[in-house]
Amino acid sequence: MSAYRFVGARRRLIETIRAQGIEDLEILRLFDDIPRHLFLPEGVWNRAYQDHPLPIGYGQTASQPSLQALFLQVLRPGPDDQVLEIGTGSGFYTALLAASAGRVYSVERIRELSIRARRALDDLEIRNVALLVGDGSIGWRKYAPFHVISVAAASPGVPSALVDQLAAGGRLLLPVGTLEEQELVLVTRNQTGEVREERALDRCTFVPLLGQYGWKEEPGEE
C-alpha cells in the first residue's frame, strides 16, 4: 500500500528533526507512523520527506516538519486534551495532533484544502478530527474551551477570541509579526485564569492568517 512507501526517506527525516534538538521519542515516532506524502499533491511526493515547506495549491504551503515537531514539543498535546487547530492546510499536522490528543477541531478557510485533508484523514482511518471551513481567527466557540490551540498562519497580533477560548492550564502557540517575518508566541492560561505571553522562537515565516483577527482580506481575493 502507498502508505508504506518512502520508508527510508522517512527515517532520514526523523534524523533531521532529531538533529534540531527534538529528542522526544513519542514526537519522533509520529513522523514514522504518519505518511506525510499522502497529505500532499502527487507532484511533490518526491520531496515529501525533506525538511521543507511544500506547496499544496491555492497559494498555501504545508509547514516544515521540524517546525511542526517543535510545535508539538512546546504544546505537549495529551490524550485527554481538546485541541483547536487553525489552518488545516494539507491535514498532515492535523493527523499528528490527532495521534497525540483526545479530539482535534481544525478550521481552514479554503474549502478545497479542507476536503482534501478530510479524504487523507479518512484513508488513514483517523476518526477523532472535526473539520470546519471558515475563519479560524475567531476560533470555534461551539467546542471551546481548548487545552491546546495551534495556529499555522501568521497573525499581526494575538487574537483575543483565541485567548478567550483557552482552557485553564491551556497553551496557545502562534506566529506573530509582519507578513514577512514572525516570532512564535506561546500564550498560557494558568489554573487561576491568569494569562501569560512568552516568546518560543525568534524567527519564522508562515503564510498569512486572513480574517477578522488576522490580516484583512483584499476585496476580490478568493
Write down the residue that cell numbers 482534501 correspond to. Answer: 116
Of 63, 66, 100, 137, the active-site residue reads: 63
Give the cell for residue 216.
484583512
User: Rule CB under 6 A: is residue 165 a binding residue for ligand SAH?
Assistant: no
CB nearer to ligand SAH: pick between 92 and 146: 92
The DSSP 8-state label assigned to residue 109 in this structure reads: S
Q: Is 38 in the site for ligand SAH (CB under 6 A)?
A: no
- Site residues for ligand SAH, 77-116, by CB under 6 A, read 86-87, 89-90, 92-93, 107-110, 113
Residue nearest to ligand SAH (CB): 89
Name residues whose C-beta falls within 8 Å of residue 207's C-beta, 6 or more positions apart in sequence: 59, 60, 61, 87, 153, 154
Burial class (CB in 10 A: 0-12, 13-18, 19+), 62: buried
Q: Is 60 an interacting residue with respect to ligand SAH (CB under 6 A)?
A: yes
Whether 100 is a known active-site residue: answer: no
Closer to ligand SAH by CB, 56 or 166: give it.
Answer: 56
CA atoms within 13 A on the CB side of 179: 5
Give the nearest distance from C-beta 171 to ligand SAH in angstroms: 17
Residue closer to ligand SAH by CB (options 134, 169) is: 134
Distance of CA 134 to the CA centre of its chain: 16
DSSP 61-89: EEPPHHHHHHHHHHH---TT-EEEEE--T
Taking the complex as a whole, how short is the minimal distance between the CB of residue 141 and ligand SAH, in angstroms?
14
Contacts of 25 (CB under 8 A, 6+ apart): none
- Of the residues 52, 57, 207, 217, which one makes contact with ligand SAH according to CB under 6 A: 207
Number of residues that bind ligand SAH (CB under 6 A): 26
Residues near ligand SAH (CB under 6 A): 56, 60-63, 86-87, 89-90, 92-93, 107-110, 113, 135-137, 152-153, 207, 209-211, 214
